[in-house]
Structure 1
Amino acid sequence: MTMTGKVKSEELQPTILSFVKDLPNLCSLAGLACTILAIYFSILGVYHAAMIGMIWAVAFDWADGLIARKMKGRTSKQGFFGGQLDSLIDVVNYGVAPAILLLSYGKFSPIFLLGAFIIISASAIRLSYFNTYGLSNGTRYTGMALDNNSIILVFVFLFENTVSVGVYSIILYVVCLLLSALNVSEIKTPKLSGNPVSVYMLAIYTLGITGIYGWKLL
């Protein structure tokens, strides 16, 4: 390659931060911001606020895919970058955040470190498998999709006050381990994020969960 060719190639290569202007990527980052808030409030022990952050992270995660599919003129590089960014953020949203929630609720007892490790490991393995093989038959996931972890956890947490903290910490531990097992299992689950009915249901669920936990915070 000539010097002129090298210069042109470098000029054509976009800057790292240029991808931030892409609307689907902004949605992904907004979801990450919600997860950071969820982690922050989990550490502080303000679990109701953490639940709101977790469910909104799912909403933004679904939104970035919807927007990406509807946008015209997105290049293959933009799509590939967006997919990589979304996958990395998913590890934080659905692996790190639940792990921190479990650790915090367990008063950071060493026994809860094992659960946290399993949750994060399962999410990383699940995403690596998906990134390698994609959807089964183009329509179904192998293993339960990670976004279901947060959708289920924010519901399960509604019953936190029905038993003692000690008992509920065990329940939460078991639920997290079961979700991790489902994430890396061979079960086939439908892809819900692109289904219009599922999107509307998630929107209603997100607003409902936000209202319930917002009221609990008062």
Structure 2
Amino acid sequence: MKLIGYYNYTVILTDLSLISSVFGIYMAMRGHVAGAVYCLMVSGFCDMFDGKVARTKKRCEAEQKFGIQLDSLSDLVCFGVLPTVIGYAIGMTNKFYVFVFFIYVMAALTRLAYFNVMEEERQSQTPERRKEYVGLPVTSVALIIPLIYILGRFVEIEFHKIYGIGLLAIAFAFLLNFRIKKPGKATAVVMILIGIAEIVCMLCGFHYVG
């Protein structure tokens, strides 16, 4: 029996990213917030290289479009849903925060849908690789959320309020019409180093403790 979809090594990192985020959601629901944040960072690391892996194989047009859709749908779970579940786990349980969660996830969804449309249009016009992004890429939360979580160690007011404000600010940045140059090799190395520094801080206990 044949399954629908395209199955090859080009989507492995996307699948691993999704697996990590689903496990992160489970961890957050069990109250293991730090573990959920680690999972978010793993998803971000996988997403950083999934495009490079995909380009190593010659794919037909349908496979390319499938890859774009699969990546975006995975990103919605990893960087849209998981951060809100982390928020709930750290105390955003008031009914008001449902509105915050909706705004954040809707902004991530809108940004991803817009990216898909623009990327498909761009690829139909030129074979060149994308050089810049419009709006804050949703994958950036893989570094921003851990940073907020670390800074929570040093704030005296209720941390879930800070986290909620952070989600709203990020949501706004997702939709803001500004351009960001796509990271090159040097920038990617810097981002990895920042991620490692965040992990070290968290392992050393420099993070929010509920």
What secondary structure does 2:158 align onto? helix
The change in CA–CA distance for 1:101 and 1:136 in structure 2 (over 3 A counts) is farther
Aligned-pair identity (%) = 20
Cα displacement (A) at 1:162? 1.9
Q: 1:45 aligns with which of 31, 38, 43?
A: 31
Higher percent of residues as helix: 1
Alignment match, 1:57: 43
Task: Give the Cα–Cα distance (whole angstroms) in 2 for the partners of residues 23 and 202 of structure 1.
Answer: 25
Deviations 1:186-206 (A, max 9, x none): 1111222xx211222233233
Deviations 1:132-174 (A, max 9, x none): 123999532221111112211111111222234x621111100
Q: 1:139 aligns with which of 104, 116, 131?
A: 131
Q: Which runs of 5+ in 2 are unaligned?
A: 123-129
Structure 1's consecutive aligned runs of 4 or more residues displaced over 4 angstroms after TM superposition are: 135-138
Kept after mapping to 1: 8 A contact 2:92/2:160: no
Q: Is 1:177 aligned to residue 163 of structure 2? A: no
Q: Which runs of 5+ in 1 are unaligned?
A: 1-14
Q: Say how many residue pairs are matched.
A: 199
Cα displacement (A) at 1:57? 0.3
Aligned residue type for 1:155 = L
Cα displacement (A) at 1:19? 2.4
Task: Give the Cα–Cα distance (whole angstroms) in 2 for the partners of residues 66 and 113 of structure 1.
Answer: 36
TM-score (norm 1): 0.82
Alignment match, 2:74: 89
Task: Give the Cα–Cα distance (whole angstroms) in 2 for the partners of residues 65 and 81 of structure 1.
Answer: 13
Q: Is 1:150 aligned to residue 169 of structure 2? A: no
Task: Give the Cα–Cα distance (whole angstroms) in 2 for the partners of residues 51 and 190 of structure 1.
Answer: 26
**Looking at CA atoms only, which structure, 1 or 2, has the larger radius of gyration?**
1
Aligned residue type for 1:175 = G
What secondary structure does 2:180 align onto? strand
Cα displacement (A) at 1:17? 5.8
Task: Give the Cα–Cα distance (whole angstroms) in 2 for the partners of residues 41 and 179 of structure 1.
Answer: 23
What secondary structure does 2:205 align onto? helix
Q: CA RMSD in A?
A: 2.4
Alignment match, 2:127: none
Task: Give the Cα–Cα distance (whole angstroms) in 1 for the partners of residues 58 and 132 of structure 2.
Answer: 27
Q: Is 1:31 aligned to residue 20 of structure 2? A: no
Q: Is 1:103 aligned to residue 84 of structure 2? A: no
Task: Give the Cα–Cα distance (whole angstroms) in 2 for the partners of residues 154 and 121 of structure 1.
Answer: 21
Alignment match, 1:204: 193
What secondary structure does 1:141 align onto? strand
Cα displacement (A) at 1:52? 0.8
